[in-house]
Amino acid sequence: VDAKRMADRPIKSVMTANPTTLRAQDTIAFALHRMDLGGYRHIPILQDGKLTGVISIRDILGYLTQPTVPS
């Protein structure tokens, strides 16, 4: 991609319009399911219609591969 040509393009020309979103109380399993179905690597998290974060497949993989603490 020619960087000079892209420099003046507005973000809206490359962003996902009306992206799938999740709520903070949704489960990790549900997030993975939505990511798989949509082919997404990132999903915005909304609370009361406002953006509160973005979850990525890397975030989930990091969580799933954390060493477990013996109880």
Predicted confidence at residue 14, as pLDDT, reads 86
Average pLDDT of span 2-10: 82
Cα atoms in the 13 Å half-sphere on the side-chain side of 18: 0
Q: What are the Cα distances from residue 5, in Å, to 14, 27, 59? A: 13, 41, 32
Predicted confidence at residue 27, as pLDDT, reads 96
User: Are residues 53 and 42 in contact, defined by beta-carbon separation less than 8 angstroms?
Assistant: no
Q: 32-58: per-residue pLDDT in tens?
A: 999 999 999 999 999 999 999 999 999
Q: What is the SS3 assignment for 14?
A: coil
